[in-house]
Chain A
Amino acid sequence: MTPETIDQIFVISKHWLLGYMPTALQPIGSAILSVVPVLVVFPLLFAITTVLERKGLGRIQNRYGPNRVGPYGFWQPIADGIKSLTKEDVVPRTADQVVHFLAPLLLVLAAFLGYAVLPIGKNMVITNLNAGVLFFFAVGSMVELAVFMAGWSSRSKYSLLGAMRAVAQMISYEVPLVLAAIVIIMASGSLSTVAIVNMQATYTGIWPHWFLFTPWGFAGFILFMIAATAESNRAPFDLPEGESEIIAGYYIEYSGFKFALFFLGEYLGMFATSGLAITLFLGGWAAPFSFLTWIPSYIWFFLKLLTLIAVFIWVRGTFPRLRMDQLMGLAWKFMLPMTLLNIFTAGIWHFIPEGILRWLVCSLLIVAPWILLSRGLKQRKKLQVRTYRFAE
């Protein structure tokens, strides 16, 4: 088998399977064959990530992490799954039963819909929409609806306030998230995720044409990842959950498997936004060097995804949770101006001819505001020295 066949093995086998179907059934068969792998692979990745995350966080804090169930604790997700399945499903008596039931399902559904436009490998995308990026952000914002449904239908002030906080945060960070992605749409001139990856899958010498390797692409990637962390409610932006302040926020009234669904939805959302970051900035399924293209494209995609997940875990293990006002301040005072400036920089880049000059100009356009903004926003509070007389 040539590398080309290995790369396309899933596509080829799908067509081979479809060949045995009557023509009338082929469209629906094709849809099922594309969707089912996504429904299997990503929840499986979720299971692996939960145990890797717990082990990674443990090591970061000089602990072992889970090491009891199975070899090196790797069967932990199975134990967790059994546990959450056997737990009692408690629904508050006054809760809006229907909405309360639908909220976690909608959250998972919304998280899954984004995968429809993610190119997982060469020719491996469920639908190649012309407005793929737009579709992704549109269904991504369904998560806010699910979160608010969960908080409102529980008929609890805690969960309602938690949902308000969550929605406020998610909407605030959606703005920089979309604005950070716009530079890519400007550069590629397309909203189709497949076209964006194809544009990056070319090489100069051994170097790829990833959008990451431009000043605006790099800044966009950083801003995108910060917004994506906040969007998927991960530490240090996990205020919607806030277990120390508001005790699991909007899903406080959920137990058992519904709680696990919220958890699943959160991780699926994280994988989806990471997948989009890979598609937009890191060349999607393209190999990082031209001499590595013989390795199948889907392996590259998942390698990049796992790397990003590792970074997410690393960040989670490093930073404490922000305060709500700090969080909003970061979104509106820092992220928003930076993303707007980044769009401007990407425009300038387009008009300056290729060469060292445009690198210099564009880098300066990003680094200078970055420094000025971070200096200007630093709060210089005069803190009074407190003396505790009773504790002397």
Chain B
Amino acid sequence: MLGAGILKGLAETARNFLGSYVDKDRLTTVQFPEERAPRIEASRNFPFLVYDGTAKQEGLRCVSCLICEKECPPKCIFIEKSTDKKPDATGKLQFYPATFNIDISVCMSCQICVEVCPFNAIKMDVDFELSTTDRFSDLLWNKERLAKSNEYYREIHPIEAAAVDAELAEARARVAGAKAVTTSPPAQPSSGSSVEK
């Protein structure tokens, strides 16, 4: 008969209505600015630059190789290479970015810059409260604003950061080993880096 399903539906909504006053578990709303849902490790949205140690600008891992700038699909990364070099984390002399800007209004959070970076210098952040009052200057993030410490990275993506740290430690060990090897008779192939030097 027409009406039985209607009454059933009405009973269900009435139960929800009354139940939400009695049983607090029904209300799953997270009241945002005060309450926050637990942060999920896999979440990501905008890239940031990782720095090691405490020096915010000097410790940047980025060596200004421009790969991410080339690969970024919407072309929202703008890098200017430095003219001088300075020692990187492993003590090797490297270029560093004189400017490193990302237009976050264009960035589409594709993570490609992160995937292509050979130096683990750029990673995805989880910060989502990015609203600004000025759409012209506040949306173009410079080096200062993009730099975040490795500790922060470990905090937001613990598993990923542990892997990166292990990889970097291994690379450092290899460099240290190679240095030790270069003092003994050279075992390197004859062609290679000697040409560049």
Contacts and interface: CB of A to CB of B under 8 A. Distances in A.
Interface of A: 56, 59-64, 314-315, 317-319, 334, 370-371, 373-375, 377
B1 A314 contact: no
Interface in B1-34: 1-3, 6, 9-10, 12-14, 16-17, 19-21, 26-29, 31
A64 B27 contact: yes
B13 A62 contact: no
Given A318-B9, A318-B12, A318-B13, A59 B20 contact: yes
The 9 closest A-B pairs by CB, nearest first: A374-B2, A318-B13, A62-B26, A59-B20, A60-B13, A59-B17, A318-B9, A60-B17, A62-B20
B48 to A, nearest CB: 32
Q: Which of A56, A60, A373, A374 has the most CB of B within 10 A?
A: A60
A377 B1 CA distance: 11
A371 B1 CA distance: 5
Contact of B14 (A314, A319, A373): A314
Given A370-B1, A370-B2, A374-B1, A62 B9 contact: no
Given A371-B1, A374-B2, A374-B3, A62 B28 contact: yes
Interface residues of B, number: 19
B27 A319 contact: no
B1 A319 contact: no
Looking at chain A's contact residues, the main secondary structure is helix
A57 to B, nearest CB: 9
A77 B12 CA distance: 29
A374 B14 CA distance: 25
Contacts of A318: 9-10, 12-13
A373 B1 CA distance: 9
Contacts of A61: 16
Looking at chain B's contact residues, the main secondary structure is helix
Nearest to B20: A59
B1 A60 contact: no
Interface of B: 1-3, 6, 9-10, 12-14, 16-17, 19-21, 26-29, 31
A314 B12 CA distance: 11
Contacts of B29: 63-64
Q: Which of B6, B10, B17 has the most CB of A within 10 A?
A: B17
A314 B13 CA distance: 7
B1 A317 contact: no
Given A62-B28, A64-B27, A334-B2, 9 more contacts: A60-B13, A60-B17, A61-B16, A62-B20, A63-B20, A315-B10, A370-B1, A371-B2, A373-B2
7 contacts: A59-B17, A61-B16, A63-B20, A64-B31, A314-B13, A370-B1, A373-B2
Contacts of A370: 1-2
Contact of A314 (B3, B10, B19, B31): B10
B127 to A, nearest CB: 24
A330 to B, nearest CB: 10
A54 to B, nearest CB: 13
A75 B185 CA distance: 83
A334 B3 CA distance: 13
A315 B9 CA distance: 9
Nearest to A320: B9
A317 B13 contact: yes
B96 to A, nearest CB: 47
B153 to A, nearest CB: 35
Nearest to B31: A64
Contacts of B9: 318-319
Q: Which of A315, A318, A373 has the most CB of B within 10 A?
A: A318
Nearest to B33: A68
Nearest to B1: A371
Contacts of B13: 60, 314, 317-318
Given A318-B9, A370-B1, A374-B2, A62 B16 contact: yes
A317 B14 CA distance: 10
Given A56-B17, A374-B1, A63 B10 contact: no
Contacts of A63: 20, 27, 29
A373 B2 CA distance: 9
A59 B14 contact: no
A316 to B, nearest CB: 10
Contact of A60 (B6, B16, B27): B16
A60 B11 CA distance: 11
A61 B29 CA distance: 10
Nearest to B4: A374
Contacts of A319: 6, 9
Contacts of B12: 318
Contacts of B16: 59-62
A370 B6 CA distance: 15
